[in-house]
Structure 1
Amino acid sequence: MSKFLRTLLQRTYLALIAIPFKLMPSLAYMAFTGQGSTAQLCRHIARQGIRKVLVVSDKPLVELGIVARAVDVLTEEGVVCTIYDGTLPDPTFSMVDAGLALQAEYSCDAVLAIGGGSSIDCAKTIASAASNGRDGRKLVGYFKVKKAPLPLFALPTTSGTGSEATIAAVISDQQTHEKFFIADPKMLPKAVALDADLLLGMPGAITAATGMDALTHAIETYISLWGTDSSNAYGYASVKMIFEYLPRAYRDGSDAVAREQMAIAAYYSGMAINDAGVGNVHAIAHQLGRQYGTPHGLANALVMPEVLRFMAKAAQEPLARLGRLIDVAGSGDSDEKAAEKFIDAVADLNRRLGIPGYLDNLNKADIPAIAAAAVKEGAAYPVPILMSRAECQAILATLLSTTERAAEFA
C-alpha cells in the first residue's frame, strides 16, 4: 500500500474516532497542590461520605511509609482502608483481578491510587471494572465503561505518566506482555493531590526517566493533529517547566520547588493527552516495553530524539515554537533551524540526565517485528506523519549498542 493511501486511511480513521472525543462533556476534577496536600485530599475523600477505601499501591511505597501518610489521615477521619500492594511496573489484568477480589471482600466503596502510573492505571481499571461486570478485559478500547466507576482518587509519587490527569489506562496481558488501552472519560479521578513531599529523594534515574516521559507527552500532544487550544496551552507550559526544573530535580532530589513544578508539569501533560493523544514515540516505546521490559519513561526518552528528527519537516512549525520557547532558537532562525535546535536540545537533555544513547539489550534480529508492531500502533494515533516499516527500522537501528552497530556494518 502506498504511503499516500495509508495516510488517507489514517486521516479518515482519525476523523471518525475524533467525533466522540469532541462530543465529550467537559471533564470535572479537583487538584490539591503544595505542602500538606495529601492530608487535604484524604479529608476531601472523607467528606464525600466514603467509608471504605481500597488503596492501590506497591510494596516499596508501603515499606517506605508513603502509603501510611495517607492511610493514617483517612483512619483519623473514620475511613477504613484496605491495602492492595501487589502492583508492579506494567500492571497486568491478573493484578486488576487481585485488587477486585479485595475490593469485593471488604466492600470498598472507593479506590485511592498511591504510586506512579502503574498503580494509577491499575486503580483506574479496578474502579471501572467493579461497576462494569468485574472483568477489566472487557473494558479494552474506547468508551466501554458504561456505568460510573467507584469514586477514584490519586496520589502520584512520580512526575511522569500524567495518569492522574488522563481518561485512560494501559494494562498488559500477563502471558504475552501485550499492552491494552482502555479509555473513557468516566475513568478520570475525582480528585488528586500533587504533593512534592512524596517526591523528595526520588532516585536520579527514576527522576530522569519519568521526567522525560512527561516531556514526551507534552511534545507529542503539542504536535498532534488533534491539538486544541487547551491541549496546546498545557503542552507548551509543560515543555517550558520541564526544561527548567527537571535538571534541578535530577541534581538535587530534595529540591522541593523543582519537585512541585515537575509534578504540575506532568499533570499538565496528562491533561493535554485527553484532547490530543500521543504519537510515534509511544508507538515504539510500547513495543520495547513488551519485548524487553524497558521502563516506559526510559523507552520514550531513548527513541524521542530520532523520532522527532524523522517528523521534523511535518511538525516544523510547532517544533520551532518550542525551540524559541526554551531559548535555544532565536527570532532570526528559520523554522527549520529552530525545530532542529529544539530536537538537539531534547537529545542534550537526555545526556545531561544520564540517559544512554542506546538500548543495551536491543537485538538487531528483533527490529523488523518491533517496527511492524510500532507502525501498526502509530497509525492509530493523530501523528503528523506516518512511519513506514523501513523508516521505523532505521530509527530503531540508532538504538543499537556500539558493538551491534559495528557488526552491522562490518
Structure 2
Amino acid sequence: MDLKLDQIYDRLYQSAFGLGIRILPGKGPQVVSGAHALNRINEILEKEGKLHPMIVTGPRIVKSEFFVNACGTLKEYSLFSDVRPDPDTKTVEKIAAMYTQERCDCFVAIGGGSNMDAAKAASARIARPDRTLQEMGGTLKVRRRTPLFLAVPTTAGTGSECTVAAVVTDPETHHKYSINDFVLCPDYAILDPVLTVSLPPFLTATTGMDALTHAVEAYLNRPYHRRETPGQCREAVRAIFRYLPEAFKKPDNLKARQEMLFASFKAGLAFTTACVGNVHAAAHTIGGMYHVPHGLANAVLLPIVLEDYGKKVERPLADLARFAHIAAGTDSECAAAFIQKIRDMNRTFGIPDHIEKISEDDLDQMASWAVQEANPLYPVPVIYDREHFKRILRRVGQLS
C-alpha cells in the first residue's frame, strides 16, 4: 500500500479513536500519599474486605526495611519477589499461577514499572484465563474485571500506578509489547516519598526522564486530549524540571521526592488518555532487544525525536518552555531552548547521547516492532514508517 494511503488511514483511525476517548468514562486510582503512606496497606485491605493479598516485587525491595515493616502489619499474604527488569511472559505466568494456587484475592505491587507491569499482566491472565498474553497484546482485549490492585511505586517515573498498560517481553523473540485496557488501571496508588530515597542517583534521573517523556509525548498527541490532559502535562513538565535535579543531588529531600511522585502520577494520567508516541515505540524495541533500561532509552531518544519533528512541534514545545520558565521569545527559539534543556539535563545526570548496543543487523526487526506499536494508535505529530524509524535508530546508535 502507498505510504500516503497508510498515513490517511492512520489519521482517520486516530480521529475516530479520539472521539471514543472523549466519551469513555475516565478512571483513576484513589491516591494515598505522604511519608510512610505504605503503612496504610492493611487499613485499605480491611476497608475493601480483602484477606489474602498477593505481593509482587523484586529481589532488591524484598530486603528493604520499609518492605519488612509493611509486611509485618499483614495477617496473611503470598509473595512473589523475583521480578526482574523488562518482565517476560514466563514470569507473568508464574505470578498468575501462584495467585490461583494460593487463593489470593487481590494484588499489591511494590516497586518500579517492571514490578507493577508484571502484576498487572498477571491480573489480566487471572481475569482472562482463556487468553494468552500475546492474544491480549494491543488495545481493549482484556475486557473483564481484574482483581483489586494496589500499586506502590518506589521510583518516580513509569506512572504505572495510574495507567491502563502493562508492558511485557517475549523471552524467545525479545519482542516487547503492551497490553492496554482500562480494567488494568490500579484501584489505589500509594505515593510514599520515603520509598524513593534509597534510589541511586542515576536511576532517579532516568526514571524521572521517563516521566518527562510521558508528559511531553502526551502533550503533543492533541487528538486524544480530554479537557484536563494539557494541564496535567504542563504541570508535570514544570515540576520535573524543577524537582528532578533536586532529587538527583539530594536523595533525602522528601519535598523533591514527593513532588516527583506527583509529577510522574500526572504524566501517567495524561498518557493513559493521550498515549505516548514514537519515542516510546523506539525505546521499547531497544529495551526488548538489548535490555537497555526503559528510562535511559527514553532519555536518549527524546531530544533526538523532538528535533526530528521540527516545525510540527515548535508551538507546543514553546508552550511548555514558557510554562516551565525555560525560555521566552519566538516559538522557534523557545522550542529549541526546550530541547536543549533536555540535553543539558541528560548531561548533568551522566546520561549519554547515544546507545552503543544498537546493531545495523537488528534494525529491520526493531523498526517493524516500532511501527507495529505506533501505527495507527499513536496520534503523533509525524507518522514514522519503517525507514523513518530505522533512521532514528541509526542516529541513536551513531551508526551513520
Q: CA deviation at 1:94?
A: 1.1
Q: CA deviation at 1:3?
A: 4.8
For structure 1, which runs of at least 5 residues remain unmatched after alignment? none
Q: Secondary structure at the match of 2:178?
A: strand
Task: Identify the match of residue 161 of structure 1 among 139, 158, 162.
Answer: 158
Distance in 1, Cα, partners of 2:171 & 2:368? 22
Map of 1:145 onto structure 2: 142
Partner of 1:288: 286
**Distance (Å, rounded) in 2 between the aligned partners of 1:394 and 1:11:** 22
Q: CA deviation at 1:42?
A: 3.2
Instruction: Choose from 101, 105, 108 the match for 2:101.
Output: 105
Instruction: Give structure 2 stretches of 5+ with no counterpart.
Output: none
Question: Equivalents in 1 of 2:183, 2:130: separation in Å?
Answer: 16
User: In the alignment, which residue of structure 2 is the partner of 1:11?
Assistant: 11
Paired letter, 1:277: C
| Per-residue Cα deviation, 1:29-81 (whole angstroms, up to 9, x for no partner) | 21011112112243112221100000011111112234323212223xxxx11
Letter in 2 for 1:273: F
Name the counterpart of 1:347: 343
Matched, 1:193 2:190: yes
Flag the structure with more relative contact order, 1 or 2, with Cα contacts below 8 A and sequence separation at least 6.
2
Secondary structure of the equivalent of 1:192? Answer: strand
Distance in structure 2 (CA, Å) of the matches to 1:258 and 1:70 = 23
**How far, CA to CA, are the matches of 2:55 and 2:387 in structure 1?**
45
Contact 2:28–2:269 (Cα < 8 Å) also in 1: no
Matched, 1:222 2:203: no
In the TM superposition, residue 91 of structure 1 has moved relative to its aligned partner by: 1.2
- CA RMSD, 1 decimal: 1.8
Which residue of structure 2 lines up, in the alignment, with residue 338 of structure 1? Answer: 334
**What does residue range 301-340 of structure 1 map to in structure 2 within 5 Å?**
301-330=299-328, 333-340=329-336
Give 1:386's match in structure 2, choosing from 376, 383, 389.
383
Mapped to 2, the partners of 1:14 and 1:335 lie a distance apart of 26
Aligned AA for 2:345? L
**CA distance, structure 2, for counterparts of residue 42 and residue 318 of structure 1:** 44
Cα deviation for residue 320 of structure 1 reads 0.6
Q: Which amino acid aligns with 2:367?
A: A
Q: Deviations over 1:11-38 (max 9, x none)?
A: 1122333454333223142101111211
Output the CA distance in 1 between the equivalents of 2:261 and 2:367: 33
Partner Cα separation in structure 1 for residue 359 and residue 368 of structure 2: 15
How far apart, CA to CA, are the structure 2 residues paired with 1:135 and 1:85? 25
1:11-410 paired onto structure 2 within 5 Å: 11-75=11-75, 80-133=76-129, 135-137=131-133, 138-224=135-221, 225-330=223-328, 333-380=329-376, 381-400=378-397
Between the aligned partners of 2:226 and 2:20, the Cα distance in structure 1 is: 15
8 Å contact kept, 1:121–1:171: yes
Residue deviations 1:88-146 (CA, integer Å, cap 9, x gap): 11112211111112111211011100011111111112223213226552432222223
Distance, in Å, in 2 between the alignment partners of 1:206 and 1:121 is 18
Change in 2 beyond 3 A, CA 1:400/1:92? closer
The 1-side partners of 2:318 and 2:211 are apart by 19
Counterpart code for 2:267: S
Equivalent AA in structure 2 for residue 69 of structure 1? N
In structure 1, what is the Cα distance between the partners aligned to 2:202 and 2:305?
Answer: 22
2:177 touches 2:373 (CA, 8 Å); kept in 1?
A: no
Distance 1:144 1:306, change over 3 A: same
Identity of aligned residues (%): 33
CA drift at 1:377:
2.8
Cα distance in 2 for partners of 1:343, 1:214 equals: 16
TM-score computed with the length of structure 1 as normaliser: 0.92
User: How has the CA–CA distance of structure 1 residues 28 and 215 changed in structure 2, closer, same or farther, with 3 Å as cutoff?
Assistant: closer
1:275-329 CA distance string (max 9 Å, x none): 1000010011011112211111101111110100011311221101111122222
- Equivalenced residue count is 397
User: Structure 2: which amino acid aligns with 1:169?
Assistant: A
Conserved? CA contact 1:228–1:275, under 8 Å: yes
Distance in 2, Cα, partners of 1:110 & 1:17: 32
Write out the 4+ residue segments of structure 1 that deviate beyond 6 Å after TM superposition.
none
Q: SS in structure 2 opposite 1:74? A: coil
* Structure 1 residue 368, shift from structure 2 partner: 4.4
